[in-house]
Structures are given as C-alpha cells and as structure tokens.
Amino acid sequence: MRKNANSVSKFSKHLFWDIDTSDLDLNTHSKYDISKVLQYGNYSDWKILVDCYGIDTIVKKAQSIRELDKRSATFLSVLGDVPKTTFLCYSTKQSIPKHWAF
C-alpha cells in the first residue's frame, strides 16, 4: 500500500453495501477492494484505488480474480503491459454458463 493511502470511507458507498466497512482493512483485503472497484466503481473510485495501491499492484491482484469481467481484464492488460491470458478470468470457464454474453 502506498503512503498516501485513503480510507475505505473515501470510496463510493454502494461498493461495500454488503459488509461492515469498519472491519475492512485496505492492507489485508486488497484483492476484495480491487475487485469491487473494477466491477462496480466509478472514475473517482478508480482514482482512489490507484492512489492506494498503484497500477502494478492492481494488475497483479486482478490477475487472480476469477470473476473479473473481460472488459476490465483487457483494460488492465493494456495498462499494465501484460498479456490478457495471464488473467484468471480468461483461463477458467464457468461450469454453468450465463444466458447472455455481455
């Protein structure tokens, strides 16, 4: 985590609606935070995330997120200059496919 790290309260409220944010620690739950912001966050959440973790850490953690959407993975592969096939969401398939391919 970077020096100018922000607290969880800086992120949009809708990102962490399902948990008690007082128990959320940005150091230990970084993969969860990154996943939420990439899937449901807006641009201001993205800027806070980059301030907290940096691009390299975001890309490294996102590579192990199984349920990451392919649009976010492609964006991060370009941003981090890594092949998109290194993202887990590209190498694993759901056992029950979705009805709609968005």
Asked if 58 contacts 48 with a C-beta cutoff of 8 angstroms, the reply is: no
Q: What is the pLDDT of residue 67?
A: 86
Q: Is the pTM of this model over 0.75?
A: yes
Distance of CA 33 to the CA centre of its chain: 6
Cβ contacts of 61 within 8 Å, gap of 6 or more: 30, 31, 34, 53
Q: Residue 25 and residue 43: Cα distance in Å, rounded?
A: 22
How does pLDDT run across 43-100, given as a tens digit for each residue? Answer: 999 999 999 899 999 999 999 998 888 889 999 999 999 998 888 887 776 666 666 6
